[in-house]
Structure 1
């Protein structure tokens, strides 16, 4: 049985649902539908048929996992990898996870080093920011969607040759400037590599975000 203390800091289900829906919009995927006490997204991608996402460890994850026997179906959960593994049959394995993060307050205005320019555009609810070099190649890019009371940042990427120049900070600031509602909560899932950047910008880790699949 999961202890109350282990689950006391997990994000509320409504916030996770808003993030997942906004993420699906940002990536052109079907909206999530309720399933087994969590949500299901039919991703239909190479290496990933669908994903199930849960706001914390619930017994229904065990029943779901027991019914799945093929690879390329992911179970994702707010909580530690150890918590997720306790609910899964032995054929399931952990994949690299992330961190469910939120941000409150202001973000600095976008600032770029010499030789770069910023392009931001919004189309069909998706805001895309790109940082270009002098020859027009993409040095960094990111996306954001505001949906159901959440402002969600997605796929914030800086190309390897342009890292450690503040481009990630500039992208986040430029996207945040397009937020319409002051009450919308800023949300993203960060990788281990991005965790330090977001923490330095005032983001708070709400929970580990763990992933498992049949390999």
Structure 2
């Protein structure tokens, strides 16, 4: 398995996430990576690997060195690991979970339920999938970024008016099939609590917590 350790998983996640969001290539740092995003509310993202979130000197130095508005920091640790050193002006993002799935070679996308249509396109290693209702409104969307042997599922969102109809499962299995067909062997994603419940039923495994902080 390519993602033998949590560090392998978080490295794969940062690479695929950067491709998915159209961000810069992750720049290696002694404690993890830095990703330039360039949006007003998300200028730069730092991701700490291993146990660096529990290292007081590393966390304090990073909080002092880059405290500009739009700075984000992600830790593969629970919130309490960084809480003792959180400086004024930083806020918590929604808690998350780093999850992985070993892909099945040759798997195919499932059929679409009656009354819906599926559209997809791939550009530069990023595949987007839309499932539309009969009136053309969005039922569910999602995307997957393939970076070699690993892929990152991202931005999966179901329209509230179309929930509990199996569309989340449909788009996830479609994205997984797309990744496998492009040669990926493992998938990674960052899940919310709500998303984690769905992904677990599909065979995904939780590897670690994901804690984010940011400067608004």
Question: Which TM bucket (shorter chain)?
Answer: 0.7 to 0.9
Could you say which structure has the higher helix fraction?
Answer: 2
CA separation in 1, counterparts of 2:185 and 2:207? 17
- Summarize the Cα distance change of 1:183–1:23 in structure 2 as closer, same or farther, 3 Å threshold: closer
Provide the residue aligned with 2:209 in structure 1.
208
> If the length of structure 2 is used for normalisation, what is the TM-score?
0.86
For residues 82 and 182 of structure 2, the distance between their equivalents in structure 1, rounded to whole angstroms, comes to: 35
Residues 15 and 150 of structure 1 are in contact (CA less than 8 Å); yes or no, is this contact kept in structure 2? no
- 1:176 is matched with 176
Counterpart of 2:95 in 1: which secondary structure? strand
Q: Distance in 1 between matches of 2:21 and 2:67?
A: 27
Following TM superposition, by how much is the alpha carbon of 1:87 offset from its aligned partner in structure 2, in angstroms?
A: 4.1
| Bigger Cα displacement from structure 2, 57-66 vs 152-161 | 57-66
SS of the aligned residue for 1:44 comes to strand
Check whether the contact 1:11–1:207 (CA below 8 A) recurs between aligned residues: no
> Is the partner of 1:71 in helix, strand or coil?
coil
CA distance 1:123–1:70, change in 2 (3 Å): closer
The equivalent of 1:63 in structure 2 is: 61
Structure-1 residue corresponding to 2:144:
144
Structure 1 residue runs without a partner (length 5+)? 1-9
Cα separation, 2, equivalents of 1:185 and 1:123: 20
Aligned position for 1:190: 191
Q: Secondary structure at the match of 1:152?
A: strand
Q: 1:25 is matched with which residue: 16, 19, 38? A: 19
Q: Deviations over 1:99-154 (max 9, x none)?
A: 00011254785243321011122122111111011122221111111114211111
Q: What is the aligned residue count?
A: 206
Structure 2 unaligned blocks of 5 or more: none
1:158-207 CA-to-partner distances (Å, cap 9, x unmatched) read: 11111111111101111111223666211111111211110111111111
> What is residue 81 of structure 1 aligned with on the other side?
79
Q: Match of 1:96, SS?
A: coil
- Root mean square deviation, CA, Å: 2.2
Measure the CA separation in 2 of the matches of 1:11 and 1:196.
22
